[in-house]
Amino acid sequence: MQSTEQILASAPGSSQLPSTSQTPSRVLVVEPHPTLRTVLVQRLRQDGHLAAAVGSAIEAVDLCREQSPDLLVSAEILEQNTAMRLAQQLGCSVIVLTARSGVEPLVSLLDEGADDVLRKPFGLEELAARCRTLLKRGRIGLQEKVAVGPLEVHLLLRQVTLSEKPVELSPREFALLCALLMPPGIVRSRQELLRLAWPPFSGGPRSVDTQVLTLRRKLEQAGLGEGGGITTVRQQGYRFSIDNI
C-alpha cells in the first residue's frame, strides 16, 4: 500500500500542492448496520472530516488500496474479521465500537492496542469528541482551509471563494469539490466520489456526472477557466487539474 507521501509525489502537478498547514483528516467508518453508519459518517462530516462509510472489512480494504485513513471507527466484530485486525491491515488508529458490557472487554481491547473504545449505545457528540481528540493527538487535526491557486475552500465554514469572491455551491457540490481537491491531481472514480460525497445508497454514477457538470459550470462562471479545473479521465473518472488554474 502506498504512503500518503508517495501518492502526493506521484500526482500530476504535485509540485503545486494546496497551501494548508494541515493535511485533511480521513475517517473511515466500518459498521454493518446501514442506518447507524449513515448517521455516524454524516456527523463526522459536520466536523470537516473527509469521512466515508462501508459495511464490511472487505469493502474497507478495497476502498483503502491507494491511501490509508487517518482514523478507523469500526464495529468490534465484523464478518470474517475484527476491528483490531482491520486496523492492523490498514495501519491506522482505531476507535472500536463494542456492544459488550462490563469492564473486562474494554480493558482487553485497550490491551490489544485499540486507541479508544466506545460502548453501544453512545452519543454522536461523544464519538465526535473522541475522534477530534485522537486526530489532534496524532499528526493531524481539523483542517480549516484548503487553498489551490486563487481557489479557497473553507471546510468548517463550508464556504468557497475564488480570488476572494464567494462561489455559491449546494451542499452536494461542496462535498464533491472537497473530494476532488484532497489532494488535487488524484483521479477519483465515480464510485469513490459517491462514497466521499453522497450518503450511502443515495446516488449512482449518473448522479456523479450530473453534479460534476453543474459544479464545472459554477466554477467556470466564477472565473476558474474552461471546465472549472475538473478534467474527465476516460474510463477512470475525474480529477481536479491544478495545471488549468
Q: Give 173-188 pLDDT, tens digit per residue.
A: 888 888 888 777 788 8
Say what the pLDDT of residue 15 is.
31
Which residue has 480521513 as its cell numbers? 26
**pTM for the predicted model, two decimal places:** 0.51
Cα 20 to the center of its chain, rounded Å: 17
Q: Give 212-236 pLDDT, tens digit per residue.
A: 999 999 999 998 888 888 999 988 9
> What amino acid is encoded at 192 in this protein?
E
**What does the alpha-carbon distance between residue 51 and residue 130 come to, in Å, rounded to a whole number?**
15
Q: pLDDT grade, residue 138 (50/70/90)?
A: low
Task: List the domains of the chain with CATH numbers.
Answer: 17-137 (3.40.50.2300), 145-244 (1.10.10.10)
